[in-house]
Amino acid sequence: MMLNWKRREPSVEGAVPAEAAPSGLDVVRRLSRSVSSLGRDAAEVRGVLEDTQKIVEAQGQAMQALASQLGEVQRAQTHIGEATQLTHAAVGRARHALAGVGTEVGGIVQTLREVSVAAGEITQIALQTRLVAFNASVEAKRAGEAGRGFGVVADAVKDLAAKVEASSKAIVGRVAALDARVDNFSRELLSDGAPGEHGNKRHHNNSSSIHAAFAAVERDVERISASAEQTRNTTASLNERAAELEREVAQAMRGLATAFGVSDKFLRLSEELIEQIAESGVEVDDSLYIRGAQEAAGEIAALLEQAVQAGKIRLDQLFDERYQPIAGTQPQQHLTPFCELADRLFPAVQERLLGLSDKVVYCIAVDRNGYVPTHNRKYCQPQRPGDVVWNTANSRYRRIFNDRTGLASARNQRPFLLQTYRRDMGGGKFVLLKEASAPIVVNGRHWGGLRLAFNF
């Protein structure tokens, strides 16, 4: 950036002396602070967009799930409607069958009555037989000794006739009782609930309980069918509204994506302006942290190269990307072959850089994928099972931070990179930070980056 300043001579009384005019360096420094403040605002806007995007995405997923559930409800109601139609038809068939049964039962009643008539006739015949046998017995006794054998037969006939008469009377009694019950059942089956031929009110009040039960079933089936139809119509309306909301959510997502793109360009422009000012050699507020990150990156690189040369770790182990998940950790933590080495070597550098300024928040070395083998000691607390919020804030080691800022710092190969971002502290809490990072190169290969974060 070229800044040309001409020395102004006072021409009139009260003009500003040349010595009082701001120097180019002062202007650049003020510009740097303004751009830094602009970057902070841009990072806050981007953070709000991120929060909004998460909410909209959750709403979109919820609408998709709702639409799916509504479809299931609609299909279920269709099946219910079909089932009720079949049930209604089955009840009609049962009614018809009962009418047939009623007719058949009427035939049985008639047959029973014929049986009763026949039994009555048997009773009359038995009675007559008893009378004839009695008369024969009397005549046999008058005949004296000659009629004795005939009298025995007459007595036997009389006794048998008495038994026949008793049995036939019993048949008549039982048939009468059965006839009454069957006849009543027949009337119930054939009854449609209307008064009898003579307008018998009692018969009307005591109409068929069987038909009443069938009528109740039919009414229930009709209510079910009506409810299913109403639910189906309501669900169809909700489905249309859900589809409309889903389209609105999709539109909002597209709008957010556009806003994200603009905010990213805006944020990156402010970061690039600060970088250009820092590269010009002008001492700005961020220069201290840029130098600190570069020096720390060089120290970490030297320590790793010495470890490889001393045989403490192989180069392929140092660049191993097979991150092994640690069971039961949340957020997820991982192990790599270089974790133990990092635990021994990195703290000496990382902890010292925390004292660079009271604004420094953390200093960490990460590999090119954003993996943090060991963090600053205050963030290397063992996880508490089930306490995700506490773990997110205090157990930040052995984790992969592959967000926009994390990956950019990890994969940057320029002398330094300045970024502004929101740091997730868990539980919906964020901290707005600036970060200076510098590449870590081991034996000519880019291993990762040194991230130095600090407050505004």
Question: What CATH number does the domain containing 300 carry?
Answer: 3.30.450.20
| Domain match, 75 and 193 both | yes
Q: Measured between alpha carbons, how far is 289 from 360 in angstroms, rounded to an integer?
A: 9
Q: Quick one: 79 and 217 in the same domain?
A: yes
The torsion angle over the Cα atoms of residues 141, 144, 146 and 149, rounded to 10 degrees, is 40
| pLDDT at residue number 29 | 61
Alpha carbons 57 and 59: distance in angstroms, whole number: 5
Residues 216 and 356 in one domain: no
The arithmetic mean of pLDDT across residues 226-230, rounded, is 71
What is the tally of structural domains in the chain? 2
pLDDT of residue 214: 66
Instruction: Calculate mean pLDDT across residues 1-22.
Output: 42
Residue 432 domain-assigned (yes or no): yes
Write out the two tokens for 93.
């068939």
Helix (H, G, I), strand (E, B) or coil at 242: helix
Higher confidence at residue 22 or residue 57? Answer: 57
Domain-embedded: residue 368:
yes
58 assigned to some structural domain: no
Structural domain including 420 reads 286-454
Within-domain flag for 240:
no
In a shared domain, residues 202 and 298: no
| Gap between the Cα atoms of 207 and 188, Å rounded | 7
User: Among the three residues 180, 199, 224, which one is the final residue of a domain in this structure?
Assistant: 224
Is residue 257 in a domain?
A: no
Taking all residues of the chain, what is their mean pLDDT, rounded to a whole number? 77
Do 329 and 432 share a domain, yes or no?
A: yes
455 CB neighbour count, 10 Å cutoff: 12
pLDDT level of residue 398 (50, 70, 90 thresholds): very high
What's residue 206's pLDDT?
45
313-334 confidence digits (pLDDT tens) = 999 999 999 999 999 999 999 9
pLDDT score of 247 more than 60: yes
Residue 104 lies in a domain: yes
In a domain, 20, yes or no: no
316 & 429 share domain: yes
pTM listed for this prediction: 0.52
Residue 190 domain flag: yes
Q: Which two tokens stand for residue 11?
A: 């021409």
Q: Are residues 209 and 339 in the same domain?
A: no
Select, from the ranges 23-27, 39-43, 97-101, the one with the highest average predicted confidence (pLDDT).
97-101
**pLDDT band (50, 70, 90) for residue 203:** very low
